[in-house]
Chains A and B, each alone.
Chain A
Amino acid sequence: MGVAKYTKDEKDQIIDVTLQSGIHVKPLYGPKDLEQVGFSYEKDLADPGTYPFTRGIHREGYRSRAWTTRQYTGFGTPYETNERFKLMIAHGQTGLNVAFDLPTQMGYDSDDPMAEGEVGRVGMSVDSLRDFEVAFRDINLEKIGSGLTINAIASIMLAMYQAVAEKYGYDPKRISATPQNDILKEMIGRGTWIFPVVPAVKLIGDTIEYSMTTMPRANPVSVCGYHIRESGATPAQEIAYAILIANAYIDNVLPRGYDIDEFVGRFSFNLNVFGNIWEQVAKFRAARKLWARNLKEKYGAKKASNMFLRGLFGGGGYGLTKSQPENNIMRGAYYALSAALAGAQTIALCSYDEAYTIPTPHSAIISLRTLQLLMDEIGLRDTVDPLAGSYFIETITKEMEAKIEEEMEKIEKVGGVVEAVATGYIQRLVARQAFEFEKGIQSGELLKVGVNIHTEGEAMDVELHEYANESAEKQIESLKQLRRERNNREVKQTLFALESATKAGKNVMPFLVDCCKAYATVGEMTRVFRDIFGDFEEPSLF
């Protein structure tokens, strides 16, 4: 949950505060502290929009452009999800973030035995292009960008997004999709991996390479420290691992003969917001600086805008509590505040009922209104990087930078991030920390309102989203109908072409687009990959 550790005396006075990343907070900060950490305005901050971008990537911050609001949305059939998309847009949401159900994320069709009980449960069920046609009907894909929260088969969904855009008459060069597409973090936390590390990373390289020319406005990878943190990593580890993982994707694309400046500008990040507010702000500011420095010094990037850490800072799922769930509304507001104070490009919040299940329309709109209230009502767009120059914030931003670098070095020492994921080194580390953290909550050493402090009062009851079995039945029925109606010869041909291309090590993206347009199913396309690549073998942790 990310609260700091407090040591207090018998009179409830605070003697020590230790942030999760290991930084000690002092009761008072002044100019001497900045001297001590070697702070320099030009070197460490510089003006917003100027390297190393600690103060933000745009000169005028939110004055020139407010952050995008992008609540994670999707459930049941594409019809239901399309209705919900339109509801959110009608309430002023400015981007989409598509939630897929687990069978889709794992590459199974809804009638696969592996999908039983899960169709449409935690997200929208997608079997084929026909489902995307329904899901994105009446949505202006040139104006609204879409996050596609899918990883192992993000390549398939990006191809399908191009196919649906073309079907509705949009130029792929003008649409903006952000597939999550970060498989290494799935192997650390969240767990929707399918293929082994090497081919899984190669597929990501394919999407990056393909987007350069065909969908230049796409953000082909959204590197997620988010789920690593949810799994038990500290804020410093979250950023360290995210940067190293992003580098692993870069290292897959460079040998294909491209210059770093041709593609890295389209990388984006998805980072977590729960916990101590100062630590979060320092983390985001330090992250922007380290990412820019990493690109400039390690990879020789030249163009300033390619060094931007463009981020969705949001969620905060692990910070939410099941007890006293309405308190999660307030938590969300403070989490969004830290994201906005730190210059996020996009913010999304977990809704107050999400410690239980996916949100109702009521709770999703409360989250959206929280973001709009911060944006329009209390002054967060007034000036860029408002905390800059604070003795405290600048000192801990420097300290956070050092902590992140320490964590990066630890991983490099064990052979780099790909190795550390394949052997389970990182997984073991974060699982152990999660256990220690939970012990801290249970012992009351880490404070959590409604959980181990201020637990008095009546239990709150909230209305929850209900899973509808009928949606799953409808989805399976329409899949069967699709199999009867489509041109099965064309499906076979395009799948065969995909198989040959995959075996030959070619970029699979154009072949996937052809498969999608022929209405091949997600399960059929994934099967081609499964047969060639095999499955990821999870390292043993105990």
Chain B
Amino acid sequence: MEAKNIKVLIAKPGLDGHDRGAKVVAHALKEAGMEVIYTGLHKTVDQIIRIALQEDVDVIGLSIMSGAHIPITEKLVKKAREEGIDDKMIAVGGVIPARDIPRLKEVGVRGIFPGGTPFSEIVSFIKENVKKD
């Protein structure tokens, strides 16, 4: 998929307020030509799903630094299924220890980008993996 046809939602779920990474990735995806929407801080899973539906995004990218990435993504994937949007690519970035990666994949997260992942890697992963009708 060409970058200019991809719409990405960068979301900050939960109470964590560290948004440097989220904003940096948003800048990088924009510079790569994607359309990017940033939710701002302290969003509930329900709010994120609602924005994803309204904006009809292709990718939901969660940025989580507090360590709560597993409970939050579990909840989000469940909700996405209920709303019938589990075809969207769900990605997670932030402080993600290697030991949690298998569990996140099991939950249904497709892209996992721990802090420091090169922008080029994130961009090409999204381009290769986004499905669109």
CB-CB under 8 A from A438, the residues of chain B are 24, 28, 119
- Bound together, the chains give a CA A191 to CA B38 distance in angstroms of 15
| A538:B23 contact, CB within 8 angstroms | no
> How many Å from the CB of B105 to the closest CB on chain A?
19
Q: Which of A118, A190, A356, A540 contacts B66 (CB 8 A)?
A: A118
CB-CB under 8 A from B15, the residues of chain A are 102-103, 105-106, 108, 114-115, 118, 192
Given contacts A191-B19, A322-B114, A442-B118, contact A435 B27 (CB under 8 A): yes
Q: Interface digits, B79-117 against A, CB 8 Å rule (1 contact, 0 not)?
A: 000000000000000010100000000000000001110
| B116:A118 contact, CB within 8 angstroms | no
| A467:B16 contact, CB within 8 angstroms | no
- Nearest residue (CB) in B for A113 is B44
Given contacts A106-B42, A114-B44, A542-B37, contact A191 B16 (CB under 8 A): yes
> How many Å from the CB of A449 to the closest CB on chain B?
14
CB-CB under 8 A from A92, the residues of chain B are none
- Bound together, the chains give a CA A190 to CA B42 distance in angstroms of 12
| B68:A542 contact, CB within 8 angstroms | no
| B68:A121 contact, CB within 8 angstroms | yes
- Bound together, the chains give a CA A114 to CA B42 distance in angstroms of 9
User: Residue A205 at the B interface, CB < 8 A?
Assistant: no
CB-CB under 8 A from B30, the residues of chain A are 542
Interface size on A, residues (CB 8 A): 41
- Bound together, the chains give a CA A541 to CA B30 distance in angstroms of 13
User: Residue B18 at the A interface, CB < 8 A?
Assistant: yes
| A102:B20 contact, CB within 8 angstroms | no
- Bound together, the chains give a CA A538 to CA B17 distance in angstroms of 12
Tell me which residues from 6 to 20 in chain B have a Cβ below 8 Å from any Cβ of chain A. Answer: 12, 14-20
Q: Interface digits, B32-59 against A, CB 8 Å rule (1 contact, 0 not)?
A: 0000111011101000000000000000
| A431:B20 contact, CB within 8 angstroms | yes
- Nearest residue (CB) in B for A535 is B42
Tell me which residues from 291 to 335 in chain A have a Cβ below 8 Å from any Cβ of chain B. Answer: 321-323
> How many Å from the CB of A444 to the closest CB on chain B?
11
| A357:B95 contact, CB within 8 angstroms | yes
CB-CB under 8 A from A323, the residues of chain B are 116
| B95:A356 contact, CB within 8 angstroms | yes
Q: Which of A121, A434, A464, A467 contacts B23 (CB 8 A)?
A: A434
- Nearest residue (CB) in A for B99 is A464
Interface centre among B28, B68, B114, by most chain A C-beta atoms within 10 angstroms, is B68
| A451:B71 contact, CB within 8 angstroms | no
CB-CB under 8 A from B120, the residues of chain A are 442
CB-CB under 8 A from A190, the residues of chain B are 17-18
- Bound together, the chains give a CA A83 to CA B41 distance in angstroms of 33
| B36:A186 contact, CB within 8 angstroms | no
> How many Å from the CB of B92 to the closest CB on chain A?
14
| A232:B16 contact, CB within 8 angstroms | no
Tell me which residues from 523 to 542 in chain A have a Cβ below 8 Å from any Cβ of chain B. Answer: 538, 540-542
Given contacts A442-B119, A467-B67, contact A117 B72 (CB under 8 A): yes
Q: Interface digits, A242-279 against B, CB 8 Å rule (1 contact, 0 not)?
A: 00000000000000000000000000000000000000
| A116:B38 contact, CB within 8 angstroms | no
User: Residue A230 at the B interface, CB < 8 A?
Assistant: yes
CB-CB under 8 A from A512, the residues of chain B are none
User: Residue A50 at the B interface, CB < 8 A?
Assistant: no
- Bound together, the chains give a CA A193 to CA B17 distance in angstroms of 8
- Nearest residue (CB) in B for A107 is B15
- Bound together, the chains give a CA A323 to CA B16 distance in angstroms of 23
User: Residue A287 at the B interface, CB < 8 A?
Assistant: no
> How many Å from the CB of B36 to the closest CB on chain A?
6
Interface centre among A114, A121, A321, A438, by most chain B C-beta atoms within 10 angstroms, is A438
| A116:B97 contact, CB within 8 angstroms | no
CB-CB under 8 A from B119, the residues of chain A are 438-439, 442
- Bound together, the chains give a CA A442 to CA B117 distance in angstroms of 9
CB-CB under 8 A from A230, the residues of chain B are 20
> How many Å from the CB of A108 to the closest CB on chain B?
8
Interface centre among B17, B38, B71, B119, by most chain A C-beta atoms within 10 angstroms, is B17
- Bound together, the chains give a CA A111 to CA B23 distance in angstroms of 31
> How many Å from the CB of B14 to the closest CB on chain A?
6
Q: What are 22 A-B pairs with beta-carbon distances under 8 A?
A: A117-B68, A118-B14, A118-B15, A122-B66, A189-B17, A189-B18, A191-B18, A191-B41, A191-B42, A192-B17, A230-B20, A355-B95, A355-B115, A431-B23, A431-B27, A438-B28, A438-B119, A439-B119, A442-B119, A451-B116, A541-B23, A541-B38
| Beyond known contacts A231-B19, A356-B97, A464-B97: 5 more, CB 8 A cutoff | A102-B14, A191-B19, A322-B116, A442-B118, A540-B40
